[in-house]
């Protein structure tokens, strides 16, 4: 018996768009039938009728920020001065875009006896939102620690939502840290240092052999991975993904 092959592309309308942080836009699309994905995966988004274009083209590869159980597909991106990004804030609701099939290997490990420690910088939070919402929805037993670094509270996409999630899902701890508070206009009473051994030791005392997920800008990912190696964490226990130009 043959099994139907899922489509490689989907044409879907834009259902909603809104800011989730300064210069950070979320786009919600209609979720087509048969679009099955694993929390942590990504997809291509292509503008079919761009009003301008440049050498970077009309397609971007975005992590899927929505969780599999949600009835929409969502991505989020920092707004940069490129032809693709300049069009997004004014993209009319109902506009049809092309989505590629989901791909990528980032996902939560299976063994619930090992905690998951997410070391996330900036817009790298998109894939992790999907993973954390799925874990809470499915009542997974994994202990989950989110270390989420931004320069300012104004830059921290989905922080309020994930902090609220930690209040209803006791397996999740959210440790947000801000490293550029001198340029912020908002009050902040949380951590204010880079993700490093001191911060990890403060919040991970008594957590044996976790699996680390390092997601963020390339420099942050490279430096954090090196820091983990220097503290004795084996590469087999590190999952890393960078978001250059995101």
Q: What is the pLDDT of residue 243?
A: 76
pLDDT score of 209: 95
Tokens at 11, concatenated: 């044409």
Give me the pLDDT at residue 2, please: 47
Q: What are residue 197's phi and psi, to 5 degrees? A: -55, -40
| SS percent in the chain: helix, strand, coil, step 5 | 25, 30, 45
Q: What pLDDT shows up at residue 8?
A: 83
Question: pLDDT of the chain along its 246 residues, tens only?
Answer: 445 667 789 999 999 999 999 999 999 999 999 999 999 999 999 999 999 999 999 999 999 999 999 999 999 999 999 999 999 999 999 999 999 999 999 999 999 999 999 999 999 999 999 999 999 999 999 999 999 999 999 999 999 999 999 999 999 999 999 999 999 999 999 999 999 999 999 999 999 999 999 999 999 999 999 999 999 999 999 999 987 655
Length of the chain: 246
* DSSP assignments along 108-168, one per residue: --S-TTS-EEEEEEGGGHHHHHHHHHHHHHTT----EEEEEEESSGGG-TTHHHHHHHHHH
Task: Walk me through the domains of the chain, giving residue ranges and CATH numbers.
Answer: 9-100 (2.40.30.10), 116-242 (3.40.50.80)
Structure tokens at 228: 């983990």
Q: Could you tell me which of 9, 137, 161, 168 has the C-alpha nearest to residue 68?
A: 137
Spatial distance between the Cα atoms of 52 and 178, rounded to a whole number of angstroms: 36
Task: Judge whether 215 and 127 are in contact, CB under 8 Å.
Answer: yes
Cβ neighbours of residue 104 under 8 Å, at least 6 residues apart?
40, 41, 42, 63
User: Three-state DSSP class for 203?
Assistant: helix
- What is the dihedral angle through the alpha carbons of 131, 212, 203, 162, rounded to the nearest 10 degrees? -20
pTM of this prediction? Answer: 0.95
């Amino acid at each position: 018996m043959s099994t139907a092959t899922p489509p490689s592309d989907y044409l879907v309308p834009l259902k909603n768009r809104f800011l989730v942080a300064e210069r950070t836009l979320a786009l919600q699309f209609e979720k087509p039938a048969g679009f099955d994905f694993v929390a942590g995966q990504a997809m291509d988004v292509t503008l079919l009728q761009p009003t301008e274009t440049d050498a970077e083209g009309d397609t971007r590869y975005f992590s899927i920020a929505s969780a599999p159980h949600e009835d929409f597909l969502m991505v989020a991106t920092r707004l940069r001065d490129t032809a693709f990004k300049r069009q997004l804030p004014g993209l009319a609701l109902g506009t049809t875009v092309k989505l590629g099939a989901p791909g990528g290997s980032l996902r939560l490990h299976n063994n619930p006896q090992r905690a998951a420690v997410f070391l996330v910088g900036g817009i790298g939070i998109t894939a992790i939102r999907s993973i954390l919402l799925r874990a809470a929805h499915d009542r997974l037993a994994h202990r989950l620690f989110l270390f989420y670094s931004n320069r300012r509270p104004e830059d921290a996409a989905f922080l309020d939502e994930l902090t609220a999630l930690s209040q209803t899902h006791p397996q999740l701890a959210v440790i947000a840290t801000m490293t550029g508070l001198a340029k912020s206009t908002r009050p902040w009473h949380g951590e204010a240092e880079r993700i490093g051994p001191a911060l990890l030791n403060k919040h991970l005392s008594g957590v044996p052999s976790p699996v680390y997920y390092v997601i963020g800008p390339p420099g942050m990912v490279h430096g954090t991975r090196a820091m983990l190696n220097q503290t004795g964490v084996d590469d087999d226990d590190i999952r890393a993904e960078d978001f250059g130009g995101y």
